[in-house]
Amino acid sequence: MQGTSNAPVDAEETTQRVASLYSQVLEIPEIGADDDFFVAGGTSLSALTLLDLVAAEFGVQVPVRTFYQATSVRDLAREVQLLAAKG
Amino acid sequence: MLLSRPPFGPAPFTNADLLDSGFYARADLHAIWTHLRENEPAYYCDPGDGREPFWVLTRYADVTRVLREHESFSSRRGTMLCIIDLSMPDFASDDMMPDTDPPRHRRLREPLNRVLTPRMVAQHEPAIRDIVHDLLRPALDGEVFDFARAALMFPMAFTGMLMGVSPERWEHMSELTTMTIAYDDPDYSVGSSQATVRQAHHELFSVFRDEVNRRTQDDKGTDLIGILRRMSVDEDPLTEHQIMLNCYALLLGANVTTPHVISTMVAMMAEHPDQFRRVRDDPELRKSCVQEVLRWSSPASHFMRYAVRDVELHGRTIRADEPVSVWLGSANRDERVFRDPWTFDVARRGNRHVAFGSGPHYCIGAGLATLAVTAFLDHLVNLVDEVELAGEVRHLASNFVAGYKSMPVRMTASADALRSVPS
């Protein structure tokens, strides 16, 4: 199984990259691993943009249902890793 | 929500109950509203758990005043109590028609009004009649039929057509719209209430985005989505976000309300067969019958506004920035306005019900809904001789929609129906 070149390497790096996508969408500079997208100001509308960026960044489509059970940076990063591992 | 009548038993409630969707599925709200109309017409409801306190207005005169006086009661911060219930601030302010105030409201509404004029709506009548026929046909075989369940899909078929959304998406979209208003209902909830609402919004927005992107720049389409794409507000075309939000508002307005009007019609036909024989024998009564079913069902229970300035009401002061909920279902039983409000009367005259709201935000789909409900009534009295309830009626857990989740009925097909439906 071989991922694409920008597929996530390790959990730590994935978490950081997800965090910077949160920052980009929410337009706030500092996002921690435990921050929740909606508590930090996200909406169901901006979440569309977030999942688009996640798909562009990691080459994986996070299902909408999965995202709403995993809305912190760390949880979404874990789902991204799982999806990337599945190929 | 129970559509009850006096005499009412004791109907105790706590302030938190008035937000709790589950309470609306099991409690007798008409008993509570009747008490409030009489004794506390301006009721200050503090849930007492950190959520924002809100006013509860139940009299017809106050309900219509708040809905009309947009200078004093604004729609910009959201128009439904779920905002307070779930502590989720509104993000559609000034972008989604229901969450705007005049004059911006009028600029968003006028182009949409042009698609929903009586003449435009009438063009869809044959298609709507087919949809009604398809809805009733499976109920005519004499078996027990869950009418309320089937009715949930009814508006989606004609709004889907009007919006130009592909039919294979309709069933899922209908479920998603119900999720947004019955987020605490175990049959619709997916995790927390907030997650349920957000996921449903997200999935609906992405359907609308797909539909927008499916069209080319040159061929935007003549349906509602096409109209929204051609619209401009203050010279600027609508943004993609604004298009998605307004598609959502239009779909929600139709989907979560209309099913419960026709389900109520079926329930009332079971309860008052004599009145429906009158309607069948005298087509002149169809118009007043539809209006009475609208009054009786009042599927949109409330709307919310935020006070813009201090307003004195019944010796109390509503302060600027406080949320005010007005209860349409209660106004439609107000003894001060309706003679014998608890009598269901298909021949009622001067029925000034507020099931479609009042003022600038009066339901933009009222003409379409009335046409669809009338088409349903025509078919019902032609195809069905008798309806009986055949099981437990279950109500939707929602503080916004007075609706049914399940209504098992047995229908006796008329001689006309037996002639027209091959067996």
- Give tens-digit pLDDT for B133-165: 999 999 999 999 999 999 999 999 989 988 889
Condensed to tens digits (0 to 9), the pLDDT of residues B71-107 reads 999 999 999 999 999 999 999 999 999 999 999 999 9
Write down all domains in chain B, each with its CATH number in brackets: 15-420 (1.10.630.10)
pLDDT category, A3, cuts 50, 70, 90?
very low
Residue B187: pLDDT over 70: yes
Look at residue A72 and tell me whether its pLDDT is greater than 60.
Answer: yes
Mutate to test the interface with A, among B198, B211, B239 (most CBs of A within 10 A): B198
Task: Give me the pLDDT at residue B423, please.
Answer: 45
Percentage with pLDDT > 70 across chain B = 99
Interface contact flag, B198 A68, Cβ < 8 Å: yes
Give B146's contacts (C-beta < 8 A, 6+ positions apart). B406, B407, B408, B409
Cα gap B120→B109, rounded to integer Å: 16
Check whether the bond before B6 is cis (ω within 30° of 0): no
Contact flag B199-A44 (C-beta cutoff 8 Å): yes
Look over chain B and give the mean of its residue pLDDT values, rounded to a whole number. 94
Does the CB of A44 have a partner CB in chain B at under 8 Å? yes
Evaluate whether B60 touches B355 at the Cβ level (below 8 Å): no
Single-letter residue type at B109? R
Residue B4 near chain A (CB below 8 Å): no
Q: Read out DSSP for B44-96?
A: EE--SSSSPPEEEE-SHHHHHHHHH-TTTEE-TT-SSTHHHHTT---S-TTTS
Structure tokens of B208?
């609308």
Instruction: Answer yes or no: do B202 and A47 touch at CB < 8 A.
Output: yes
Instruction: Outline where DSSP puts E strands in B167-266.
Output: 232-233, 236-237
Nearest to B198 by CA among A26, A49, A48, A14: A48
Interface with A, mutate which of B202, B240, B244 (most A CBs under 10 A)? B202
Asked if the Cβ–Cβ distance from A65 to B190 is below 8 Å, we say: yes
Contact B3, B297 (CB under 8 A): yes
B418 touches chain A (CB under 8 A): no
Of the ranges B103-117, B215-229, B317-331, which one carries the lowest mean pLDDT score?
Answer: B215-229
pLDDT attached to residue B222:
77
Higher-confidence residue of A2 and B199: namely B199
- Supply the pLDDT for residue B214: 86
Q: Give the DSSP per-residue string, B314-331.
A: TTEEEPTT-EEEEEHHHH
Count helices and strands (H / E) in chain B.
19, 14
Confidence at residue B115, expressed as pLDDT on a 0 to 100 scale: 82
User: Cα–Cα distance between A11 and A17 in angstroms, integer?
Assistant: 10
CA angle A11, A12, A16 (to 5 degrees): 115
User: Is the ipTM here above 0.90?
Assistant: no
Instruction: Look at residue B354 and give its three-state secondary structure.
Output: coil
CB distance from A36 to chain B under 8 Å?
A: no
Instruction: Check if the beta carbon of residue B399 is closer than 8 Å to that of residue B20.
Output: yes
Count CA atoms within 13 Å of residue B413 on its CB side.
Answer: 20
CA B66 to chain CA centroid, nearest Å: 19
pLDDT at B216 over 90: no
How large is the average pLDDT for residues B123-131?
A: 94
Q: Is the pLDDT assigned to residue B31 strictly greater than 90? A: yes
- Do residues B5 and B342 touch, judged by C-beta distance below 8 A? yes
Q: Tens digit of pLDDT for each residue in B393-422?
A: 999 999 999 999 999 999 999 988 888 655
pLDDT of residue B111 exceeding 90, the answer is no
pLDDT at A2 over 70: no
- B273-300 pLDDT, tens per residue? 999 999 999 999 999 999 999 999 999 9
Contact B353, B235 (CB under 8 A): no
What does the DSSP 8-state code read for residue B214? Answer: H
**Average pLDDT, whole number, for chain A?**
91
Shortest CA distance to B82 belongs to which of B4, B185, B187?
B185
Which residues of A fall within a CB distance of 8 Å from B209? 48
Structure tokens that stand for B141 in this block: 């075989």
pLDDT computed for residue A13 by the predictor? 95
Nearest partner of B93 among B104, B107, B85, B109, judged by Cα: B104
Q: Which two tokens stand for residue B272?
A: 């008052």
Find chain A residues with C-beta within 8 A of B245's C-beta.
Answer: 45
Mean pLDDT value of segment A31-40:
96
List of chain A residues whose C-beta atoms are within 8 Å of the C-beta of residue B197: 44
B394, two tokens: 């279950």
Which residues fall within 8 angstroms of residue B128, CB to CB, at 6 or more apart?
Answer: B158, B371, B372, B375
Residues of B in contact with A69 (CB under 8 A): 191, 195
> Span B366-394, mean pLDDT?
97
pLDDT at A1: 45
